[in-house]
Amino acid sequence: MTTNTDRFYVQLGASQARRRVKGHGLGVKRVETAGKNRAVIIHTATGRHLQQLESLFHDVIEVTSEKDD
């Protein structure tokens, strides 16, 4: 079974990003640090869930998405 994951970067620390996504789920697999005040959100969200996930981070999102095969 292959799971295609996407990722996007936000201008928040990883702990702050985890707090925003807590309780929502939305296909989030991991939130990792990507430097000072920057985090990467690794997810499998598609469709409506992806829109909801991006709306949680609309004010701090850097890149909409990157494919990870």
**Each residue's pLDDT tens digit in the chain (69 positions)?**
557 889 999 999 999 999 999 999 899 999 999 999 999 999 999 999 999 999 999 999 885 555 665
Task: Quote the pLDDT of residue 3.
Answer: 73
Distance in angstroms (rounded) separating the CA atoms of residues 37 and 4: 26
Going from N- to C-terminal start, the domains of the chain cover: 5-63
Task: Quote the pLDDT of residue 25.
Answer: 83
| pTM, to two decimals | 0.81
Task: Quote the pLDDT of residue 63.
Answer: 54
- Opening angle at CA 49, ends 19 and 30, nearest 5: 45
CA contacts within 13 A on the Cβ side of 32 = 8
If you write DSSP's letter for every residue of 46-59 in order, what string do you get?
-HHHHHHHHHHTTT
**Rounded to the nearest 10 degrees, how much is the dihedral formed by the CA atoms of 58, 42, 52, 1?**
160
What dotted CATH number matches 5-63?
3.30.70
